[in-house]
């Protein structure tokens, strides 16, 4: 899907791809999901900024236990007694207590409400949105220049953390737990669902970011090279970060008197705010410096990601309100998202974040991704897509990509979606089951995002030229007449190329099986 979105956006130089009018709602549904993600993603940047500020203290505040945390707490800072202990009780690191008790002020449930926002997080959230707004007003191209430096900075910090994490007692057990396959999990649909949605977030697939950024590339830009580099580096970085995290978790298990890594694994957003601070606390030389570097890295990367998401929303609004100034749209987005984001900095905020992440983001993205593949692979056609790639780059698409785009990827994703819904279990957070009313609200949010397909699909049929309802529906499945490159000269060349390709076809396919074969292998 990564090369598909990149290719189509470069081809027409637009962020709104009218490849099939009846599926126009796919784009708007994705923007809706992106807006939701942007509201809670900024909250994570607010937490990061608070950690960054507190990294300047003479003693890192999460490195030691507080009296009110009791005997269940174990210092995250290097302490010989942490390792050589005869106790058998499983203890919790002070870094985890600090995150849940001090930063989040997390509640055990939200049955009695979510509470009031934290003033410190509300302030850092405001700072985060001020930075995002400033970049949005300045423009995407200017922010891209800084990425040359910022792209290398995280790897320096991660490499230092890697060395430190692997030298901790018990780190090897954690890394082994991370790398050792659990083959029985392959039959669990939730694992595949989590894997697909993680790839969506990691590569920004089906959220509009790729389409928006790719529209700034030149027409003959080497898509194949970009896709190879980006996906390879993304996989490498994920493995790199995973080894660091599980090395730290192995040490936590060692110090907590347990051999089961699962007892210390955190699967929510707190992982980065528990494992990494715990590792930094164990630095004997200037832990404050490494803490500042790490959280500065996290803040910069997070801001970059959120700028991409906010830019997608801004682009759609600019297309609708063409006479409105950029700064007005940017400030409006920031204010609305900030107000919504205050929900996530309450004591019950993580419950809502987990809730919105499933119903408002990952589920919508998966469903719309399937329809996007259908629109591109079978309505526009894999054959047409491959012809476009050849026109742009002079490269013939391999059979592997043709089969993946046309069959494997859409069928596999549809199977995971059906299997997940068939075996659906109510969403939980830290063992808490949400009230029935919240589940109803959640499915309404998902329905609104996915329902953009129906809303814009009906509108596409209605706006078609005169004819019977069947003729209108048929027309709505076709791209616009001037579909192709935005540049007039290139468009003329493109249309001539497509005409020649149609002329060179040996015979007209009439049978369904012939059309299917021709679409993939033609």
**Domain annotation covers residue 32:** yes
Q: Which of 8-12, 106-110, 518-522 shows the lowest mean pLDDT across its residues?
A: 8-12
Q: Which residues pair with 428 in a beta bridge?
A: 433
Note the pLDDT tens digit of each residue in 113-122: 899 999 999 9
Burial class (CB within 10 angstroms; exposed 0-12, middle 13-18, buried 19+) of 155: middle
pLDDT band at 127 (very low <50, low <70, confident <90, very high): very high
- Taking the C-alpha atoms of residue 258 and residue 88, their distance in angstroms, rounded to an integer, is 8
**Domain annotation covers residue 482:** no
* H-assigned helices in 256-266: none
- Taking the C-alpha atoms of residue 251 and residue 83, their distance in angstroms, rounded to an integer, is 9
- Taking the C-alpha atoms of residue 499 and residue 493, their distance in angstroms, rounded to an integer, is 10
Among 125, 14, 5, smallest CA distance to 480 is for 14
**Domain annotation covers residue 83:** yes
Q: Is 143 annotated as a binding residue?
A: no
Residue 132's domain comprises 22-190+206-213+223-346
**Domain annotation covers residue 517:** no
pLDDT at 508 over 70: no
Report how far apart, in Å, the C-alpha atoms of 79 and of each of 56, 82, 85, 385, 485 are. 22, 5, 11, 60, 64
> Average pLDDT for residues 260-266, to the nearest whole number?
68
pLDDT band at 90 (very low <50, low <70, confident <90, very high): low
pLDDT at 331 over 90: yes
Q: Which residues pair with 73 in a beta bridge?
A: 92
Note the pLDDT tens digit of each residue in 359-383: 999 999 999 999 999 988 888 888 8
pLDDT at 164 over 90: no
**Domain annotation covers residue 138:** yes
pLDDT band at 21 (very low <50, low <70, confident <90, very high): confident
Identify whether the C-beta of residue 274 lies closer than 8 Å to the C-beta of residue 104: no
Q: Is 202 annotated as a binding residue?
A: yes
pLDDT at 522 over 90: no
Q: Buried (b) or exposed (e) across 97-130, using 16+ Cβ within 10 A?
A: bbbbebbbbbbeebeeebeebbebbbebbbebbe
pLDDT at 352 over 90: yes
Pairing of strands 92-93, 73-74: parallel
- Taking the C-alpha atoms of residue 199 and residue 365, their distance in angstroms, rounded to an integer, is 11
pTM: 0.87
Which pLDDT score is estimated for 80?
A: 44
pLDDT band at 83 (very low <50, low <70, confident <90, very high): very low
How many domains in the chain? 1
**Domain annotation covers residue 368:** no
> Average pLDDT for residues 74-92, to the nearest whole number?
61
pLDDT band at 93 (very low <50, low <70, confident <90, very high): confident
Q: Which residue has the higher pLDDT, 299 or 304?
A: 299
**Domain annotation covers residue 114:** yes
Which pLDDT score is estimated for 320?
A: 84
Which pLDDT score is estimated for 146?
A: 58
**Domain annotation covers residue 422:** no
Average pLDDT value for the chain: 84
pLDDT band at 481 (very low <50, low <70, confident <90, very high): low
Q: Is 301 annotated as a binding residue?
A: yes
Q: Which of 156-160, 200-204, 385-389, 507-511 shows the lowest mean pLDDT across its residues?
A: 507-511
């Amino acid at each position: 899907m990564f090369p598909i979105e990149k290719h189509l956006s470069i081809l027409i130089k637009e962020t709104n791809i009218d490849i099939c009018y009846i599926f126009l709602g796919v784009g708007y549904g994705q923007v809706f999901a992106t807006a939701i993600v942007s509201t809670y993603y900024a909250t994570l940047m607010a937490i990061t900024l608070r950690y960054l500020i507190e990294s300047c203290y003479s003693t890192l505040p999460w490195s030691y236990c507080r009296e009110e945390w009791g005997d269940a707490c174990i210092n995250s800072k290097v302490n010989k007694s942490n390792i050589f202990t005869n106790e058998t009780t499983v203890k919790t690191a002070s870094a985890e207590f600090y995150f849940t008790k001090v930063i989040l002020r997390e509640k055990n449930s939200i049955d009695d409400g979510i509470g009031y926002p934290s003033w410190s997080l509300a302030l850092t959230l405001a700072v985060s949105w001020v930075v995002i707004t400033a970049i949005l007003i300045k423009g995407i191209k200017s922010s891209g220049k800084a990425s040359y430096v910022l792209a290398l900075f995280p790897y320096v910090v991660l490499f230092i953390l890697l060395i430190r994490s692997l030298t901790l007692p018990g780190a090897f057990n954690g890394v082994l737990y991370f790398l050792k396959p659990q083959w029985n999990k392959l039959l669990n649909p939730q694992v595949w669902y989590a894997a697909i949605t993680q790839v969506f977030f990691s590569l920004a697939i089906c959220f509009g970011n790729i389409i928006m950024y790719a529209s700034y590339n030149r027409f003959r830009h080497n898509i194949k090279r970009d896709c190879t580099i980006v996906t390879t580096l993304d996989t490498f970085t994920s493995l790199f970060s995973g080894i660091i995290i599980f090395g730290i978790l192995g040490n936590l298990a060692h110090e907590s008197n347990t051999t089961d890594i699962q007892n210390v694994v955190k699967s929510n957003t707190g992982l980065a705010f528990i494992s990494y601070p715990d590792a930094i606390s164990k630095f004997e030389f200037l832990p404050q410096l490494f803490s500042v570097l790490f959280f500065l890295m996290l803040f910069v990367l997070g801001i970059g990601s959120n700028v991409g998401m906010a830019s997608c929303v801004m682009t759609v609004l600019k297309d609708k309100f063409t006479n409105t100034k950029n700064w007005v749209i940017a400030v409006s987005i920031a204010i609305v998202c900030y107000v919504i984001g205050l929900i996530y900095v309450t004591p019950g905020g993580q419950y809502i974040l987990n809730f919105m992440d499933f119903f408002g983001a990952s589920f919508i993205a998966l469903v719309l991704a399937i329809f996007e593949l259908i629109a591109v692979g079978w309505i526009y056609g894999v054959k047409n897509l491959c012809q476009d790639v050849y026109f742009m780059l002079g490269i013939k698409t391999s059979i592997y990509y043709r089969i993946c785009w046309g069959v494997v990827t859409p069928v596999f994703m549809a199977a995971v979606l059906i299997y997940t819904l068939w075996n659906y279990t109510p969403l939980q957070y830290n063992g808490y089951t949400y009230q029935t009313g919240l589940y109803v609200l959640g499915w309404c949010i998902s329905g609104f995002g996915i329902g953009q397909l129906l809303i814009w699909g009906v509108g596409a049929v209605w706006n078609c030229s005169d004819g019977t309802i069947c003729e209108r529906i048929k027309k709505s499945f076709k791209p616009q007449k001037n579909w192709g490159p935005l540049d007039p000269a290139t468009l003329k060349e493109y249309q001539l190329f497509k005409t020649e390709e149609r002329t060179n076809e040996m015979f007209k396919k009439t049978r369904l099986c012939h059309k299917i074969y021709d679409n993939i292998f033609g």
